[in-house]
Amino acid sequence: MLDQLKLVAPVRSKFMLQEMLEAGVDEIYVGVRHPLLQQLSFDNRFQTVAGYPAHFENWESLQEVMDLAKRKSVQVIFMANASYIPRELEQLYIGHVAQAVELGVDFVTVSSFQTLELLKGFQKRVAFISGSTIAPVNKYAVRMLREKGIARITVGHSTTLEEIKRWKQEGLEMMISGNFGTGSVPAACRLWESPNNAEIGEGIRSGYRVEFPDGSIASQMTLLDSATDCSLCNLEELVETGVRAIKFIGREAPNPVSLSLVVDVFRQWKELGLESVSIAGKKEIMEQEQLMWVMKWVPRFCEKCRCTYLPTRTNQMYV
């Protein structure tokens, strides 16, 4: 079943695309800055993060990359996942997405029912993906997204495998984040996302100890947590439950080569699974990979499917 799994990687330049193609990516996702917007573009992303661009500068540069991607049979996702569009910018937003549709993108990602409604005129020409800010919380939300014309949902990383398995019955493709997503700073609750400010961003569950007024401490839940789990050891199980795509975070990554190595590790793990190599065998092979040193995964492979380093301190949350 692993042959059904798609690897989805970010691209912001022709060089970055070439690295991802070499790594074996199946789909890419892109954004284009808007000249009238100063900070955020219409995908709710900062136009630069720590000095690195997160978007293509213009439509011409995106067209060149799309042409190369299409020749390699790689599909293109256009990010239009702003959580909210002010009324006075709605027509600019629609026109922005219309240009991407005209270029021939395969998917458009949206992150609100407002933007989905604004773009409903394109639903016969392009498939829609729901972004993480409208990640469903139960099967009824999944059903509502399907009825609204969504073809693929982004699964929130607090979702359990059992929930994903139930959602599969709704007939939508499901996608998870596969690496170092928002909130990946160990033991640092970041609350809401600001890539330019380490104090603001989504929190992580694995770094928390929940303490009740009587002094008792809650045991940790087993969650599909992309902030701390690479999901490698669970790929077969994820595909079996209905996951069909893994999205890698990092359009603004300072080193696209390192990010492509992450994609390459997933591709190799997937291929080893298709060859029926056991998890233990995969670990033995992958321990030799340079990525394990470059990305400083410590321990490199653990015994509990948590391939990241442990928090240096424990956050406490009182209820």
User: Quick one: three-class SS letters along the chain?
Assistant: CHHHCEEEEECCCHHHHHHHHHHCCCEEEECECCCCCCCECCCCCECEECCEECCECCHHHHHHHHHHHHHCCCEEEEECCCCCCCHHHHHHHHHHHHHHHHHCCCEEEECCHHHHHHCHHHCCCCEEEECHHHCCCCHHHHHHHHHCCEEEEECCCCCCHHHHHHHHHHCCEEEEECCCCCCCCCCCCCCCCCCCCCCCCCCCCCCEEEECCCCCECCCCCCCCCCCCCCHHHHHHHHHHCEEEEECCCCCCCCHHHHHHHHHHHHHHHHHHHCCCCHHHHHHHHCCCCHHHHCCCCCCCCCCCCCCCCCCCCEEEEC
Mean pLDDT of 117-126: 95
Is 84 a member of any domain? yes
Q: What is the percent of the chain with per-residue pLDDT over 70, rounded to a whole number?
A: 74
Residue 132 banded pLDDT, cuts 50, 70, 90: confident
Place of tokens 């026109």: 95
The answer to whether residue 204 scores a pLDDT higher than 70 is: no
Is 213 a member of any domain? no
Is 112 a member of any domain? yes
pLDDT tens-digit series, residues 142-152 = 999 999 999 99
Mean pLDDT of 194-205: 48
Is 234 a member of any domain? yes
The answer to whether residue 259 scores a pLDDT higher than 80 is: yes
Residue 60's domain comprises 2-183+224-256+265-277
The answer to whether residue 83 scores a pLDDT higher than 50 is: yes
The answer to whether residue 207 scores a pLDDT higher than 50 is: no
Mean pLDDT of 259-265: 84
Residue 188 banded pLDDT, cuts 50, 70, 90: very low
Residue 291 banded pLDDT, cuts 50, 70, 90: low
Please give the pLDDT value at position 186.
Answer: 35
pLDDT tens-digit series, residues 1-55 = 788 899 999 999 999 999 999 999 999 999 999 988 878 889 988 887 777 788 9
Q: What is the percent of the chain with per-residue pLDDT over 90, rounded to a whole number?
A: 41
Question: Is residue 148 within 8 Å of 113, Cβ to Cβ?
Answer: yes
What CATH number is attached to the domain comprising 76?
A: 3.20.20.70
Is 199 a member of any domain? no
Give the residue with greater pLDDT, 7 vs 269. Answer: 7
Residue 66 banded pLDDT, cuts 50, 70, 90: very high
Residue 256 banded pLDDT, cuts 50, 70, 90: confident
Residue type, 258: S
Query: What is the token pair recorded at 135?
Result: 């990640």
Is 54 a member of any domain? yes
pTM > 0.85: no
Determine how many CB atoms are found less than 10 A away from the CB of residue 290: 11
Question: Is residue 248 within 8 Å of 10, Cβ to Cβ?
Answer: yes
What is the number of domains present in the chain? Answer: 1
Q: Which residues pair with 48 in a beta bridge?
A: 53
Query: What is the token pair recorded at 258?
Result: 């390192």
Least confident of 4-8, 33-37, 95-99, 298-302: 298-302
Please give the pLDDT value at position 190.
Answer: 38
Is 197 a member of any domain? no
Pick from 24-28, 158-162, 246-250 the range whose average pLDDT is largest: 24-28
* Gap between the Cα atoms of 112 and 274, Å rounded: 37
Determine how many CB atoms are found less than 10 A away from the CB of residue 123: 15
The answer to whether residue 228 scores a pLDDT higher than 80 is: no
What separation in angstroms does the CA of 5 have from each of 11, 237, 241, 248, 317? 19, 11, 12, 13, 37
Average model confidence (pLDDT) for the chain?
Answer: 78
Is 208 a member of any domain? no
**What angle, rounded to 10 degrees, do the helices at 256-274 and 279-286 form?**
150
